[in-house]
Amino acid sequence: MWGTKEGLDFLVSETLKARYLRKGERDWEDICERVAKAIAITEEEHLGFKDLMIRKIFLPSSPTLMNAGTEFGQFAACFVIPVEDGIEEIFDAIKTTALIQKTGGGTGFDFSQIRPDDSPSLCADGAASGPVAVMKLFNEATEIVKQFGRRRGANMGILNVSHNDIVYFIRAKHVEGELSNFNLSVLVPDTFMELVEADRVGEVWNKQTGMTVGCIFSEIVEGIWRNGEPGILFYDRINRDNFTPALGDISATNPCGEEPLLPFESCNLGSINVSFFVTDGKVNWDLLREVTGKAVRFLDNEIDKNTYPAPEIEAATKRTRKVGLGVMGFHDMLLKLGLPYDSSETLKLAEKIMEQISWAAVRESRKLAAEKEPFPEHENSTWELPMRNAALTAVAPTGTISILAGCSAGIEPVFSWVYRRTRTVGKEFMLVHPLFEAHFMSKLPEVDYNWLLEHVYKHGTLQNVENPKLVSEEEKRIFRSALDIDWKAHINVQAAFQRHCHAGISKTINMPDYAGKEDIKQALIYAWRQGLKGLTIYRTGSRQHVVLSLKKPE
């Protein structure tokens, strides 16, 4: 199906039907009314929230859209659940996980407390099972809960690089289909990365197993090269932004990595569509700050109105009152401003956006602290002035809400200007990016435009169009999509947003299929040096099942 408007409208209405419309609701406005009413405290807030949502300027994440104003009433997308080393503790954690996933939340776990595979057994005379075996139990539970929930549960499984089972863990997804409900991440400290960077790979990292730095690091690189797993999380960088160190270290994040959280904490997410703020080539910063303030109120209200899946989660969440406000539509914003994704102006803009949002969010949180109360652990935090929330900003993938908002996802570059989308709601769609369509349709005669669409669909890029009348050099610079952009530029954009972001950033660093293991090694070191909290790399074609795909070569 060609035709962007019809295609996108169809995709939105199918998504609404599959997930968000409740009994008696007909359209998006009905959903906005239900959600805004449930989250607002005053009538003024109700109207303000509804307006932001109807115009798709700010959207809360899926669990809020699905559950607000219903009998579930669970709003958070992100959870971290501790897993202690014992049968009872493991199955308690599985139960809590099931209750969370039933309501559409994603769960992250640090499995490092689980004793390794060959150590004295958990039960009297059986073999100890190790973290990977325990993860399989969680994976099965997610598989079953899927049938009850409205969206697939997602898990993040984390293991400290010092754990004896680290190599089993890194290889746990080598067979496609294994642990399919998990993303994996290795948690590494600065000391490990320093040895890697200095090429001191022969040093023994784990005295018990004798494993060297080089052996572990090359397993990580190999895994990423093969199928994009594991991801990596930088422990020291994450804990430098731990605003409540007195409550303990942070060693886990939610499934997509944007929310490092303490055990049992949950976090509500919401995203501002930044492309909305561009008019005639200018950014309306005042309006962006104003919308940020309203969005912070929205997310803060949710903490008090939420129905929590377990009492420990309610207690931990209300101690710090973290919320995750982020952005979507960043690449669309660049297109409207005529900026290439991989340019120095883009990095300046990225940094400014996050700085302005974080600044306005902190200001609003202070106002809320004065109106209501600061978060209870405020005295134990690194914030000097009273705040309502220990952390406020994070960039989520916005996988579904960006479809509803009709904008590019999170801070990702557009995947392709012309593509088919499969699996999201079980059907296949052919779509053209609206800003690409608007630009080239008005410039080119119909026959040339259609030729260009066919070309981009087939090749996944317009970089190799040789006729400058069809695509100029300037247009080639601006219309670069995810795979045309160098991995360093991907990391630079993530780093620019990370500089002023309280929590983390969800982003995929795309590499072409011919990228080598040396590229992956260099990218990991570079990302760590640039101050990222974590990194996910995906090399084209290294996994069979992907949601977005280009046409297969004929």
Site residues, ligand UDP (CB under 6 A) = 61-62, 77-78, 105-106, 151-154, 254-256, 258, 269, 396-401
- Asked whether the beta carbons of 243 and 391 are under 8 A apart, the reply is yes
Closest separation between CB of residue 258 and ligand UDP, Å? 6
- What contacts 60, CB < 8 A, 6 or more positions away? 35, 39, 53, 68, 75, 268, 269, 270, 298, 299, 302, 401
- In the chain, the amino acid numbered 427 is K
Q: Using CA atoms, how far apart are residues 283 and 257, in angstroms rounded to an integer?
A: 29
Q: Catalytic residue among 139, 155, 242, 258, which? A: 258
Closest separation between CB of residue 442 and ligand UDP, Å? 31
Closest separation between CB of residue 228 and ligand UDP, Å? 16
**Secondary structure letter of residue 118 according to DSSP:** T
Nearer to ligand UDP, 193 or 256 (CB): 256
Which of 421, 448, 390, 416 is closest to 540 using CA atoms? 416
Give the torsion through C-alpha atoms of 337, 342, 347, 348, to 10 deg.
-50
- In the chain, the amino acid numbered 374 is P
Rounded to the nearest 10 degrees, what angle do helices 487-498 and 517-529 cross at?
A: 20
Residue nearest to ligand UDP (CB): 106
Nearer to ligand UDP, 61 or 292 (CB): 61
Nearer to ligand UDP, 162 or 402 (CB): 402
Active site residue 215: no
Closest separation between CB of residue 407 and ligand UDP, Å? 11
Q: Which helix (H) or strand (E) holds 65?
A: helix 62-67
Q: Using CA atoms, how far apart are residues 287 and 107, in angstroms rounded to an integer?
A: 34
Residue with tokens 């948690």: 187
Residue 126, CA atoms < 13 Å, CB-side half-sphere: 6
Active site residue 256: yes
Which of 506, 538, 117, 88 is closest to 324 using CA atoms? 506
Nearer to ligand UDP, 140 or 454 (CB): 140
- Asked whether the beta carbons of 255 and 261 are under 8 A apart, the reply is no
Closest separation between CB of residue 93 and ligand UDP, Å? 16
Q: How many CB atoms lie within 10 A of CB 526?
A: 18
Nearer to ligand UDP, 221 or 299 (CB): 299
Q: Using CA atoms, how far apart are residues 108 and 99, in angstroms rounded to an integer?
A: 14
Nearer to ligand UDP, 131 or 255 (CB): 255
- Asked whether the beta carbons of 252 and 504 are under 8 A apart, the reply is no
Closest separation between CB of residue 373 and ligand UDP, Å? 28
Q: Catalytic residue among 78, 256, 267, 501, which? A: 256
Nearer to ligand UDP, 402 or 510 (CB): 402
Nearer to ligand UDP, 152 or 305 (CB): 152
Nearer to ligand UDP, 105 or 131 (CB): 105
Q: Catalytic residue among 160, 181, 254, 389, which? A: 254
* Helix, strand, coil % in the chain, rounded to nearest 5: 45, 15, 40
How many residues are recorded in the chain?
A: 554
Which of 239, 269, 306, 267 is closest to 399 using CA atoms? 269
Q: Using CA atoms, how far apart are residues 389 and 265, in angstroms rounded to an integer?
A: 13
How far is residue 394 from each of residues 254, 378, 472, 506, measured CA to CA in Å?
12, 20, 37, 8
Active site residue 454: no
Q: Hey, is 80 helix, strand or coil? A: strand
Closest separation between CB of residue 269 and ligand UDP, Å? 6
Residues annotated as catalytic are 254, 256, 258
